[in-house]
């Protein structure tokens, strides 16, 4: 009897643990995607500011990362994945608008890929276009900072 109780309790604990770690993985994945976008913005800003030399390949990689990640990004928010995360409740209550913000950054990135900048000043302009999207979305859909 006692053994059965312990087994059941252990099983229940394991189930809980799996559920928690599964949720964490979802949050972690989307946070990694966003960090890669941030890293790409950093690469573009370094070129725009002249701390790194202009490098067409690096620019292409950075803008492509932003485009790829942001298009997949809105699908990383299954219902109930708001614990331990900076995701604002509005992501779920106002999902269409959240997706529209992501789509806007995606199309801005694609426009830059279609007409790639050829010098540091061009990269600066591109970074500004892309960067304006960060705050516009984070204001409503991200908590803190």
Under rule CB under 8 A, residue 145 binds another protein: yes
Under rule CB under 8 A, residue 32 binds another protein: no
Nearest 5°: CA angle at 80, between 75 and 16? Answer: 120
Under rule CB under 8 A, residue 143 binds another protein: yes
Cβ distance to another protein smaller for residue 43 or 117: 43
Under rule CB under 8 A, residue 33 binds another protein: no
Q: Which residues have C-beta within 8 Å of that of residue 118, sequence separation ≥ 6?
A: 56
Under rule CB under 8 A, residue 96 binds another protein: no
CA distance readout (Å), 136 to 73, 76, 128, 130: 16, 19, 13, 11
Cβ distance to another protein smaller for residue 42 or 78: 42
Separation CA 126–CA 129 (nearest Å): 5
Separation CA 31–CA 20 (nearest Å): 17
Count of residues that bind another protein according to CB under 8 A: 19
Cβ distance to another protein smaller for residue 9 or 29: 29
Applying CB under 8 A, the residues found at the interface with another protein are 35, 38-39, 41-42, 45, 86, 88-89, 131, 134-136, 138-139, 142-145
């Amino acid at each position: 009897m006692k053994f059965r109780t312990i087994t059941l309790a252990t099983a229940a604990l394991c189930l809980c643990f799996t559920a928690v770690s599964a949720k964490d993985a979802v949050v972690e994945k989307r946070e990694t995607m966003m960090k890669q976008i941030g890293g790409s913005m950093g690469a573009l800003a370094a070129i725009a500011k002249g701390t790194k030399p202009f490098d067409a390949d690096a620019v292409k990689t950075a803008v492509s990362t932003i485009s790829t990640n942001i298009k997949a990004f809105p699908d990383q928010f299954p219902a109930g994945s708001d614990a331990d995360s900076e995701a604002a409740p509005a992501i779920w209550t106002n999902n269409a608008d959240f997706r529209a913000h992501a789509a806007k950054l995606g199309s801005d990135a694609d426009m830059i890929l279609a007409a790639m900048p050829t010098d540091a000043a061009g990269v600066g302009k591109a970074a500004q276009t892309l960067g304006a999207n960060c705050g516009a979305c984070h204001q409503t859909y991200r908590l803190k900072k």
